[in-house]
Each structure stands twice: as C-alpha cells, then as structure tokens.
Amino acid sequence: MDGNGHFAGDRQDLIEILGNLLDNACQWARSRVRVKLAERGGMLEVTVEDDGPGMQAEARELATARFGRLDESAAGSGLGLAIVSEMAALYEGGLELGNSELGGLLARLRLPAGQP
C-alpha cells in the first residue's frame, strides 16, 4: 500500500467500504492487488487495482447496482460494489471504475478527508 490519509467519517463504515473493495479485487486478481491512498482537495482518495480480467465499460454500471452480478458462476451476492457506491454517496463521495494499468479493474473511491 502506498500513501496515507485520514477519513472524516465512521471507522466501521470505512472498514465495510474498504473490505468490499478489497474482497472484490482479491476475488478477481490473478496474483496482484495494489492500493494507493492520497488526500486531494479535502478528499481522501483510495485507489484499488488488480491484475485480473477487468471489466468492460458497459458492465461498470451494472457492477455498482444491487445484485448486479456479471458472473453468476463466481462467489458472492453482487452487493459489494453497490454497497461501496451507496456508502460513498452518503458521505458525498463517489466510486469510479476504470481500467488498471495492471490489466484488471481500477476502483477509485473518494471520501471526505479528516484530521490526523
């Protein structure tokens, strides 16, 4: 993990958000997951990348919808990224999905930064 930052919210919420992001990355990664933290413009930015198969642009919206499962044969309920997206929105943040330079999915989470 690279970087550091502080979250201006509930510790348990952050644990749930990051747990879901990391579970997703570890489930799909072939061998590598990278996490970066930074504070920019009053926001904590957490970037989670993996070297898995990635996700087509048209599938990203479905992936953040409740029960939006892209692979019915994979373990899970289809709630992980939806929970992350909804909880980030409650904190006036957000979740963006894109392509990682590692070859898989890039998830960029933005949450309000707090004081150390």
Asked whether residue 3 is assigned to any structural domain, the reply reads no
For position 60, what pLDDT does the model report?
A: 79
Asked whether residue 1 is assigned to any structural domain, the reply reads no
Global pTM value:
0.85
Under a CB-based contact definition with an 8 Å cutoff, are residues 63 and 81 in contact? yes
Number of domains in the chain: 1
We report the CATH number of the domain holding residue 31 as 3.30.565.10
Provide CB contacts within 8 A for 74, sequence distance 6+. 27
For position 65, what pLDDT does the model report?
A: 65
For position 40, what pLDDT does the model report?
A: 92
For the chain, 116 residues long, the average pLDDT of each consecutive 10-residue run is: 90 96 94 96 97 87 60 52 93 96 97 91
For position 68, what pLDDT does the model report?
A: 45
